[in-house]
Structure 1
Amino acid sequence: MAQPGLRALHQLLWRHWSGETTTEDGARRQWWAALQVIQEDLSAQLGEAPSGQEGVWLAAPLPALHEPNLLPALQGWVWVPERFSPWVLNLPLLPGQATDEADPWSPLTLQPDDGRDPFLVLVTRHLQLAISLRPVADQWALLVCFDGAVVFQALELLRRRLLQENPRHGRRLRGVLERLGPVTMTDNLVSERRFWSALACRLASMPPSLTVTASPVASSPGGADQDALEPNGTTTELEFLEALSHGIRTPLATIRVLSRVLSRRADLGEDVQRQLAQIDAECTAQIDRFGLIFHTAELQRQPKAQQLLSRTDLASLVEQQHSRWQQQLEHDGLQIQLELEQNLPDVMSDPLLLAPVLAGVVERFGQGLRSGTTLHVILSRAGGKLRLQLRGDSQHGRDKPGETHLGAVLTWEPETGRLHLSRSAIRQLFSSLGGRMAERGPQQLTLFFPLAQGL
Structure 2
Amino acid sequence: MHGDWLQRALQDDAYIRWVTGVQLWERMTAAVAQLATLEPTGLMLASHPQVLPFLGPAWEVWVVDDGSAPLVPRRPRQPVLQGLRGTVNGHFCLCLMAGLGLLLVSDGEQLGLGWHATTLLCAIDALRNHVSLPVPLPERLRRAVPETPDPSKLSDWWAVLAMTPPPAITVPPLAETAMVCSLAHEVKTPLATIQTLTRSLRQRSDLPPVVQHRLAAIEAECREQIERFALIFAAACPLPDTLPLMPLSLGELLQAMWPDWLQRGHRRAIALILDVPKDLPPCTSHPDRLQSLLGGLLDRLIRSLPPGSTVLLQVREAGAYLKLQFRVQRVGAAAELVQAVGQWLVWQPETGTVALSLAAANTLLQSLGARLSVRLAASPYDDEVLAVFLPRFSPDPAIG
Q: TM-score, normalised by structure 2?
A: 0.52
Distance across 2 between alignment mates of 1:240 and 1:317: 33
Is residue 362 of structure 2 the alignment partner of residue 421 of structure 1? no
Name the structure 1 match of 2:280: 344
Is residue 211 of structure 2 the alignment partner of residue 272 of structure 1? yes
Name the structure 2 match of 1:358: 294
Name the structure 2 match of 1:210: none
Change over 3 Å in CA distance of 1:374–1:274 after alignment to 2? same
Instruction: Confirm or deny: 8 A CA contact 1:348 1:450 kept in the other structure.
Output: yes
Distance across 2 between alignment mates of 1:232 and 1:225: 21
Distance across 1 between alignment mates of 2:392 and 2:313: 19
Distance across 2 between alignment mates of 1:424 and 1:397: 27
Change over 3 Å in CA distance of 1:433–1:334 after alignment to 2? same
Match of residue 192, structure 2, among 249, 253, 264: 253
Distance across 2 between alignment mates of 1:417 and 1:319: 30
Distance across 1 between alignment mates of 2:201 and 2:305: 37
**Alpha-carbon deviation of 1:232?**
3.5
Instruction: Confirm or deny: 8 A CA contact 2:277 2:315 kept in the other structure.
Output: yes
Name the structure 1 match of 2:62: none
Q: What's the secondary structure of 1:308's corresponding residue?
A: coil
The alignment's C-alpha RMSD in Å is 2.5
Distance across 2 between alignment mates of 1:389 and 1:322: 15
Instruction: Confirm or deny: 8 A CA contact 1:389 1:446 kept in the other structure.
Output: yes
Instruction: Confirm or deny: 8 A CA contact 1:229 1:408 kept in the other structure.
Output: no
Distance across 2 between alignment mates of 1:369 and 1:247: 28
Distance across 1 between alignment mates of 2:179 and 2:256: 33
Name the structure 2 match of 1:290: 229
Instruction: Confirm or deny: 8 A CA contact 1:377 1:389 kept in the other structure.
Output: yes
Distance across 2 between alignment mates of 1:228 and 1:353: 23
**Alpha-carbon deviation of 1:313?**
2.0
Q: What's the secondary structure of 2:245's corresponding residue?
A: strand
Name the structure 1 match of 2:182: 243
Letter in 1 for 2:357: S
Where is the helix percentage greater, Structure 1 or Structure 2? 1
Change over 3 Å in CA distance of 1:367–1:267 after alignment to 2? closer
Is residue 396 of structure 2 the alignment partner of residue 451 of structure 1? no
Instruction: Confirm or deny: 8 A CA contact 1:438 1:446 kept in the other structure.
Output: yes
Q: TM-score, normalised by structure 1?
A: 0.46
Is residue 335 of structure 2 the alignment partner of residue 380 of structure 1? no
Change over 3 Å in CA distance of 1:420–1:225 after alignment to 2? farther
Name the structure 2 match of 1:335: 271
Change over 3 Å in CA distance of 1:228–1:351 after alignment to 2? farther
**Alpha-carbon deviation of 1:367?**
4.3
Name the structure 2 match of 1:145: none
Change over 3 Å in CA distance of 1:393–1:413 after alignment to 2? closer
CA offsets 1:205-234 (integer angstroms, 9 cap, x no match): xxxxxxxxxxxxxxxxxxx99325422411
CA offsets 1:236-259 (integer angstroms, 9 cap, x no match): 111111001101111111111222
Change over 3 Å in CA distance of 1:298–1:269 after alignment to 2? same
**Alpha-carbon deviation of 1:368?**
4.7
Instruction: Confirm or deny: 8 A CA contact 1:379 1:387 kept in the other structure.
Output: yes
Instruction: Confirm or deny: 8 A CA contact 1:403 1:411 kept in the other structure.
Output: yes
Instruction: Confirm or deny: 8 A CA contact 1:435 1:448 kept in the other structure.
Output: yes
Is residue 336 of structure 2 the alignment partner of residue 401 of structure 1? yes
Q: Which runs of 5+ in 1 are unaligned?
A: 1-223
CA offsets 1:301-356 (integer angstroms, 9 cap, x no match): 97xx7442122221111112222222322344210011110022221111112222
Instruction: Confirm or deny: 8 A CA contact 1:367 1:398 kept in the other structure.
Output: no
Instruction: Confirm or deny: 8 A CA contact 2:305 2:336 kept in the other structure.
Output: no
Is residue 351 of structure 2 the alignment partner of residue 410 of structure 1? no
Instruction: Confirm or deny: 8 A CA contact 2:322 2:392 kept in the other structure.
Output: yes
Change over 3 Å in CA distance of 1:369–1:260 after alignment to 2? closer
Change over 3 Å in CA distance of 1:403–1:375 after alignment to 2? closer
Aligned residues: 228
CA offsets 1:61-103 (integer angstroms, 9 cap, x no match): xxxxxxxxxxxxxxxxxxxxxxxxxxxxxxxxxxxxxxxxxxx
**Alpha-carbon deviation of 1:450?**
0.9
Instruction: Confirm or deny: 8 A CA contact 1:313 1:346 kept in the other structure.
Output: yes
CA offsets 1:14-44 (integer angstroms, 9 cap, x no match): xxxxxxxxxxxxxxxxxxxxxxxxxxxxxxx
Name the structure 2 match of 1:190: none
Q: What's the secondary structure of 1:411's corresponding residue?
A: strand
Distance across 2 between alignment mates of 1:421 and 1:353: 14
Distance across 2 between alignment mates of 1:286 and 1:324: 14
